[in-house]
Amino acid sequence: MAKSSQVAPRETLTITGLLGDFRLLLILFVSFRLMLVLVYQPLIIQGNERGMSAGGDFQTYFQLGSFSEDGLLPFRDWWSEFPPIPSVINVVLNQLTNQSYSGFAMLYGLLMLAIDIGNLILVRRIGTRLHGANTGMALAWVYALLLAPLVISWWAFEGMAAFALLLALNWLLEKRDIPSAVAAGIGALIKFTPALLIGAALRFRPPRLAVRYLLIVSAIFGGVYLLLFAQNAAMTVPSLTAQFSKASYQTVWALLDGNYRTGNFGAAADRLDPANANVLQGNPPVIPGWLRLLAAAAIGVFVYARTRRFDERGIAAFVAITLLIFFLQAQGWSPQWLAQIIPLLLLCFPTRDGIIGLILLSFVTFAEYPFLFIRTGDTNGVITGSLVPLFVILILVRTGILVVYALILYRKLRQEAAA
């Protein structure tokens, strides 16, 4: 009898299997970023920044951290426009890298890479909870392929604020309110935005639990600031007030004010005098900041009162619209805010149109900065001449995109959840 020849089945991975392998996604996510920085190492050459960190804030962070070489510490001897955690990181990394900018930037970028891995994991975890395993995995792939989170991880510490925001949201969805409040409180020591989850707690939790959430966030934030005020109140106050008192930039408010420049606080050496935090570098506002904030609060209360969707997708949508309202009322705009906006909107709009909107938002943002502003070297960073019409169009388009997302989020919140 002839022997039948049988070919042993070979283990293969279908395309579905490949895309569904989260470990493979993590390997690709990390290796792509590590290889990219090997090719484009951050360097200072003849006073000019080169590599992955060019155009970002790492050089300013390095200069601030360098104060520690003379024994000068943040919130004691110099002020920052941000809460304390970023300044502490600047000092620690400066000490670890022994005054080497390249080493400082590399270490900072690697820290942001580690945090962005956390953001990727949270996007998948929250996406799976809200929309199912397949969509959660798809959202992780989309996040990994978007350029903005990668670029911003080598520009600023915004990814840390995004991580705190997503972590607090994840635990809020899981009804782990105390860890969520702790994450929001610590996140508020990075940037103020994670504290916006207090609004979601007030809307989606019973009064007793909502008050507990508020108290935990306030205790963490207030406790740290009490210590900082006891150390040096003059150097601590600017971290709470400077962002709200500087001139408008890159927003419709800046167009009204005639401020056609990016926002800044001058040289690092200016941080040694707290009086410099109140120096207005631009035209004063036509519409006062308190009025913008009051209008934003009124819109927030309106959304709060009109919300009818109380499921987990409603919580995510409420957090997202709160963040957008906060950013839209701000006198300025920073490209790094995409690090917080993108994951939240991905989670709320897991559709082709939603993703295309984020791509368009990223295009408009990077067309404005650095593409447009890099052409202002002869005017000391001020948009002039033929650049003005394009500058105005980019601001209006970007603002319009954010407003459209906010309106659709409001519409979602007006819809009752399916039974």
**Residue 376 has what pLDDT?**
86
Amino acid found at 58: F
- Pick from 373, 88, 86: nearest CA to 243: 86
- Pick from 199, 138, 131: nearest CA to 169: 199
Instruction: Check if the beta carbon of residue 92 is closer than 8 Å to that of residue 74.
Output: no
Q: How many CB atoms lie within 10 A of CB 352?
A: 8
Q: Is 243 helix (H, G, I), strand (E, B) or coil?
A: helix
Angle between helices 158-173 and 197-204 in degrees, nearest 10: 10
Instruction: Check if the beta carbon of residue 240 is closer than 8 Å to that of residue 228.
Output: no
**Residue 10 has what pLDDT?**
47
Residue 48 included in any domain: no
**Residue 45 has what pLDDT?**
84
Question: At which residue do the structure tokens 């959202």 appear?
Answer: 139
Residues 380-419 have pLDDT tens digits of 889 999 999 999 999 999 999 999 999 999 999 998 776 5
Question: At which residue do the structure tokens 């006198």 appear?
Answer: 331
Mark the ranges of the chain whose per-residue pLDDT is less than 50. 1-14
* Burial tier of 293 (Cβ tally within 10 Å: 0-12, 13-18, 19+): middle
Residue 139 included in any domain: yes
- Pick from 137, 173, 142, 122: nearest CA to 313: 173
Residue 241 included in any domain: yes
**Residue 267 has what pLDDT?**
76
Strands 43-45 and 48-50, sheet pairing: antiparallel
- Look up residue 254 and give its two tokens: 């800046």
Residue 50 β-bridge partners: 43
CA distance 345 to 407: 13
Residue 187 included in any domain: yes
Residue ranges making up the domain that contains 277: 21-34+53-261+271-414
**Residue 418 has what pLDDT?**
64
Cα dist from 392 to 211, 253, 357, 368, 398, whole Å: 43, 11, 20, 10, 10
* Burial tier of 326 (Cβ tally within 10 Å: 0-12, 13-18, 19+): middle
Task: Give the list of residues 6+ apart from residue 79 with CB closer than 8 angstroms, or none.
Answer: 234, 235, 236, 237, 238, 239, 242, 271, 274, 277
Amino acid found at 404: V
Amino acid found at 13: L
Residue 203 included in any domain: yes
The total number of structural domains that make up the chain: 1
Q: What is the DSSP string of 61-94?
A: HHHHHGGGGGT--BTTTB--SS-HHHHHHHHHHH
Task: Give the list of residues 6+ apart from residue 115 with CB closer than 8 angstroms, or none.
Answer: 153, 159, 160, 163
Q: What is the DSSP string of 9-28?
A: PPP---HHHHHT-HHHHHHH
Residue 45 included in any domain: no
Residue 6 included in any domain: no
CA distance 330 to 327: 5
Residue 101 included in any domain: yes
CA distance 79 to 146: 34
Question: Count of residues for the chain?
Answer: 419
- Look up residue 416 and give its two tokens: 């009752």
**Residue 178, H or E segment:** helix 177-188
Phi, psi of 412 (to 5 degrees): -60, -40
CA distance 195 to 183: 9
- Look up residue 148 and give its two tokens: 């903005």
Task: Give the list of residues 6+ apart from residue 158 with CB closer than 8 angstroms, or none.
Answer: 152, 191, 334, 336, 337, 339, 340
